[in-house]
Amino acid sequence: MSYENILVDQPAAGVGRVQLNRPQALNALNSPLMDEVNAAMQAFDHDETIAAMILTGNDKAFAAGADIKELAELTAMEMLAGQSLIERFDVKGIGKPIIAAVSGFALGGGCELAMLCDLIVASETAVFGQPEINLGIIPGAGGTQRMTRILGKALAMEVMLTDRRLNAQEALQHGLVSRVAPIDQYMDLAIEIASKIGGRSQVAVRLTKDAINQAYETTLNAGLEAERRNFMIAFASEDKDEGTRAFIEKRKAVWKNR
């Protein structure tokens, strides 16, 4: 499939990469771009040769926000009738892990898009923020909810009420990103992590991702029940038998991913 607003490749075995490609607009998110992101990610999710995915921009900007020209034309009723830009990315329908590789600006919708991913690897130049207050609106694609869960109420309030920006080290300190690397190394690091995930049982990877998301999105009791369910499902897999045998026989497991 050909795309106009993204670039798609496979930088390593088992790794699919989607790159936002509107550099003239600092990768501002619009409807055509998000539709293409969703299509490419869904294609990778259904590709048996792909184990993990990377979503990235360029060194200057992951995504500087939503396309304000598009937003300015929308009415409240049009917003009510349709999906938000970020909701076009059906992340709940994707079972494989997604790593956001962020350099430069990740603001507004760009920050929300990065937070939709399963983990974020940042370059030292990364800047995160939710500046919607400057437009007389609020974050509308999960910013007030996901960022508050990650940063805590007080810091989230300051970020969203005053347009405070978090640099890469601050984002690492507060748990918004998992790793920070120099600008010439952050993509290699994201590929390395994706490749490590690809070397594990994909049955266990999907079940683990689901259980962690349950911890993030539900109550403790509901999360424990989901973990127990996924644990039992793992015991029904061929990979469980292979993994335990390989451990006992002191050899590397050969995963069947079923």
Q: Which of the residues are catalytic? A: 66, 109, 112, 132
Q: Any idea of the CA torsion for 67, 159, 146, 174, to the nearest 10 degrees?
A: 130
Closest CA to 53 of 66, 37, 33: 37
Q: 53-62 burial, b if ≥16 CB within 10 A, otherwise e?
A: bbbbbbeebb
- 49 exposed, middle or buried (CB, 10 Å; 0-12, 13-18, 19+)? exposed
52-56 and 61-63 strand pairing: unpaired
Alpha helices, DSSP H, located in the chain: 31-45, 68-72, 76-81, 109-116, 143-151, 153-162, 168-173, 186-198, 202-217, 220-235, 238-248
Q: Are 122 and 104 in contact (CB under 8 A)?
A: no
